[in-house]
Chain A
Amino acid sequence: MAGPIDITGAMITTPTPAGDWLAVVPVALPIITGAALLMLRKRLHWQAPIAVATLAVVFLATLALLVRVWTFGTVVMTMGRWLPPFGISFTVDLLGALFACTASLVALVCSVAAVQSVARPARRYGYFPFLLLTAVGVNGAFLTGDIFNLYVWFEVFLISSFGLLVVGSTRAQLDGTLKYGVLNLIGTTLFLIATGYLYGIFGTLNMADVIRKVPAVEGAPLMTLATLYLAAFSMKAAAFPVQAWLPASYHTPNVVTSAFFGGVLTKIGVYALLRVLVLLFPLQLAGLSGVIGWVAAATMVLGALGALAQSDIRRMVGFLVISGVGVMLAGLAVGTGPALAGGIFYAMHSMIALTALYLLAGLVAERAGSSSLHVVAGLSSAPVLIIAAFILMLSIAGLPPGSGLWPKIMVVQAALEAQHGWLTAAVLLSSLLTVITLGRFFLFVFWRPPVADGLGERPKRLMSPGPMLALTFLAVVMGLYPEPFVRAASHAADGLLQPDAYVRAVFGEQG
């Protein structure tokens, strides 16, 4: 094809800087090693090292990508050299880079924890390839700038997550996976319908192109479209009243799987809400903010109440995940810069702190031989766990010195400034309920004297608390030194509210 044909009208002619390849590495590398691990299914001892090494490189790549976005602005790479909107653009702004970096860190820590806790049969059935392909879907969703491509990455991580949920094939797992699968497929179908509708209205799927075309479209039912997206992504984010799949499935698989899912997967729903509603349909978001506010309040308070009512530790953590999603939605409902920044920061905190809490629940259950709060008691011989549990309790409830304090303050302050008094009350009420829930967990597990014959058999080799401690340490760092995180989240929120830079990054100056 080289030679006399003029390609400037169809293809990108400027050379791609090598640094822009950072946008592709978090997706392409785990696909390559995941595929290689599929072929090496019989080499069980190769699986874990390759997976951990891959995720370590992916984390470093997302970190470098974050630095690049922070210094040079939005990174764009349009696949196959076709000019946008015809090629699929990976458009990495600060929001996407922050989420991808945090999620990659969580994936890395989970893969390290999985080395010890995943049994041989699960490895033989492809635990690590599934983990890598889930990471592919997650990173792809955070990095892409094309809404149909976003749908594809949703499917990628959804299908891989089915695999992670069901591997092991106990009765409870099959039951949980079925509920998870059906309800999530309904969510993605709604997403697909909405995307078809969007394509019908705008004739484009590139998000930057949609932003350009929104003001020009007259009389299109954009409110319907925004509401459809709200419904679809709320299902992913496990917001009230479509949260039922989460507590039904997250306590059944291996605890590392729960930790990864609980930390990361619901935040993709929140991310997609931020991306689509704030960036593409800000006017419709203003109209929907009342509804989102009620949803947020209900999610927060009912999630915390649900957590309080559970006697199974992992189910309790599942409800806390839901409660946290409510806080992020509160930021979205208020919709001002500081509120969105609070929501974004809260999402980062939640990925780290809730993954750590799931891992802690796994450690507790392993040491006590049960995960029922009726049985587990008197674990006073594990000081490391006690300290970590206390810090995580403060973090998740939003008390100093934990990481949840600052984002909650940002959301509360923004809600008060925007005269959303009852939303503020809901945030504070859910925080109080969370303190009670986790305080009860703490008292039962660590302070109550051991129940006489309740404890089951202790396994000989205990899981190492290392991965959980690493995340807990990070939660403390975020709590004690929040400035960089606050600044990054604020910039990310500004990037959403002023999409000019996003559009310019994709289409150049003429956009």
Chain B
Amino acid sequence: MRTLIFRAIAPYLTALMLLFSIFVTLRGHNEPGGGFIGGLLAASAFALYGIAFGVPEARRAMWFHPISVAGTGLLLSAISGLPSFFRGTPYLTGIWTTAPVFHFDVATIILFDLGVYLVVAGAFASIALALEDNGER
């Protein structure tokens, strides 16, 4: 798969897919999209990069170990339910507040969505890279 054309275009394609995955995730708040599908897109972006430049290069590009990414996501999602304790509402209730200086609305829901995004991206990137490296590290 290491043709010149593919290798030349893969970085741009990966960057575009990652950008699009974030767009899809944020769009999922009120329209079709969301963390799961966004995470799949991000994972396939890294899988593509791994096919073009080899798995070690893809792992370097990811910077963090994919499993750590998934762990971060799980942590974020689970924690996003906790602030509702202080409002006297059940676990995972969406809490909205306005940021003090910049005056835009922030919510725990986006934290949950980003958590799902990271879980799916990390887990699927981990599986894809493991399948691609043929047992060699």
Using a CB–CB cutoff of 8 Å, the interface residues on chain A facing chain B are 1-2, 12, 15-16, 18, 20-21, 24, 28, 31-32, 34-39, 41, 77-81, 87, 126, 129
Contact = CB atoms under 8 A, between A and B. Distances in A.
B75 A79 contact: no
Give the residue among A2, A38, A78, A79 with the most B Cβ atoms within 10 A.
A38
Contact of A38 (B67, B90, B91, B94): B67
B32 interface: no
Interface residues of B, number: 23
Interface in B77-105: 78-79, 81-82, 84-85, 88-94, 96
Contacts of B85: 18, 21
A16 B71 CA distance: 29
Given A35-B75, A39-B72, A77 B81 contact: no
Given A28-B81, A32-B75, 12 more contacts: A1-B96, A2-B96, A15-B89, A18-B85, A28-B82, A35-B71, A35-B78, A38-B68, A38-B71, A38-B74, A87-B90, A126-B67
17 contacts: A12-B89, A15-B88, A28-B91, A31-B74, A32-B79, A35-B74, A36-B71, A38-B71, A39-B68, A39-B71, A41-B67, A79-B90, A79-B93, A81-B93, A87-B90, A126-B67, A129-B71
Contacts of B96: 1-2
Contacts, number: 66
Given A28-B78, A35-B72, A77 B91 contact: yes
Nearest to B97: A2
B68 A81 contact: no
Nearest to A18: B85
A37 B78 CA distance: 14
A23 to B, nearest CB: 8
A39 B71 CA distance: 6
4 residue pairs, one from A and one from B, having the closest CB atoms:
A38-B71, A15-B88, A35-B74, A35-B75
Chain A interface helix/strand/loop/mixed = helix
A388 B90 CA distance: 45
A35 B74 CA distance: 6
Contact of B74 (A1, A16, A34): A34
Interface in B45-84: 65, 67-68, 70-75, 78-79, 81-82, 84
Contact of B78 (A15, A31, A77, A126): A31
Nearest to A38: B71
Given A38-B67, A38-B70, A16 B90 contact: yes
Which of B65, B68, B88, B91 has most A Cβ within 10 Å?
Answer: B91
Nearest to B70: A38
Interface centre among B68, B79, B93, by most A CB within 10 Å? B93
B120 to A, nearest CB: 14
A170 B92 CA distance: 41
Nearest to B67: A38
A12 B93 CA distance: 10
Contacts of B68: 38-39, 41
B92 A80 contact: yes
A126 B123 CA distance: 14
Contacts of A28: 78, 81-82, 91
Nearest to B112: A80
